[in-house]
Amino acid sequence: RYALFSNHLKNIEENEGGIDEFSKSYKAFGVNQLLDGRIYCKEWAPGAEAVFLTGDFNGWNPFSHPYKKMEYGKWELFIPPGEDGSPPVAHGSKLKVVIRAQSGELLYRISPWARYVVRDEDKVNYDWVHWNPPQSYLHKHPSPKRLKSLRIYESHVGIASPEGKVASYKNFTYNVLPRIKDLGYNCVQLMAIMEHAYYASFGYQVTSFFAASSRYGTPDDLKEMIDVAHSMGITVLLDVVHSHASKNSEDGLNKFDGTDYCFFHSGHKGTHQLWDSRLFDYANWEVLRFLLSNLRMWIEDYRFDGFRFDGVTSMLYHHHGIGTGFSGDYNEYFGLHVDEDALCYLMLANYMIKFLYPECITIAE
Mean pLDDT, to the nearest integer, of 15-40?
A: 96
Which letter does DSSP use for residue 174 in this model? Answer: I
pLDDT band at residue 43 using 50, 70 and 90 as cut-offs:
very high
Asked whether residue 332 carries a pLDDT value surpassing 90, the answer given is no
pLDDT band at residue 34 using 50, 70 and 90 as cut-offs:
very high
Is-catalytic flag, 365?
A: yes
Asked whether residue 46 carries a pLDDT value surpassing 90, the answer given is yes
Q: In 10 A of CB 316, how many CB atoms? A: 20
State which amino acid sits at residue 358: P
- Report whether 37 contacts 279 (CB < 8 A): no
Q: In 10 A of CB 126, how many CB atoms? A: 24
> How many angstroms separate the CA atoms of 364 and 319, rounded?
18
DSSP string, 146-172: PPSS--EEEEEGGG-SSSSS---HHHI
> How many angstroms separate the CA atoms of 300 and 293, rounded?
10
Residue 306 is predicted with a pLDDT of: 98
Phi-psi region of 96 (alpha: psi -120 to 50; beta: other; left: phi over 0): beta
State the alpha helices, DSSP H only, in the chain: 2-16, 19-22, 169-171, 177-182, 219-231, 285-302, 312-316, 330-333, 340-356
pLDDT band at residue 250 using 50, 70 and 90 as cut-offs:
very high
pLDDT tens digit string along 264-316?
999 999 999 999 999 999 999 999 999 999 999 999 999 999 999 999 999 99
Phi-psi region of 249 (alpha: psi -120 to 50; beta: other; left: phi over 0): alpha
Residue 66's φ and ψ, nearest 5 degrees, are -80, 145
Q: In 10 A of CB 230, how many CB atoms? A: 19
Is-catalytic flag, 16?
A: no
Marked catalytic residue, from 195, 310, 339, 341? 310
Domains in the chain, please, with CATH? 30-111 (2.60.40.10)
Task: Report how far apart, in Å, the C-alpha atoms of 170 and of each of 70, 118, 148, 155, 193 are.
Answer: 43, 18, 29, 14, 14
What share of the chain has pLDDT > 90, as a percent? Answer: 92
Asked whether residue 10 carries a pLDDT value surpassing 90, the answer given is yes
Residue 147 is predicted with a pLDDT of: 87
Looking only at the bridges linking them, the beta strands covering 94-100 and 50-55 are antiparallel
Marked catalytic residue, from 13, 154, 276, 365? 365
- Report whether 45 contacts 75 (CB < 8 A): yes
**Helical (H) or strand (E) element with 183:** none
Task: Tell how many helices (H) and how many strands (E) occur in the chain.
Answer: 9, 18
Looking only at the bridges linking them, the beta strands covering 152-156 and 187-191 are parallel
Task: Report how far apart, in Å, the C-alpha atoms of 136 and of each of 132, 220, 360 are.
Answer: 8, 7, 24
Asked whether residue 328 carries a pLDDT value surpassing 90, the answer given is no
State which amino acid sits at residue 69: K
Residue 318 is predicted with a pLDDT of: 94
pLDDT, greater one: 78 or 327: 78
Residue 325 is predicted with a pLDDT of: 85
What share of the chain has pLDDT > 70, as a percent? Answer: 100
| pTM, rounded to two decimals | 0.97
pLDDT band at residue 122 using 50, 70 and 90 as cut-offs:
confident
> How many angstroms separate the CA atoms of 195 and 187, rounded?
22
> How many angstroms separate the CA atoms of 280 and 296, rounded?
18
- If you average pLDDT over every residue of the chain, what do you get? 96
- Report whether 206 contacts 277 (CB < 8 A): no
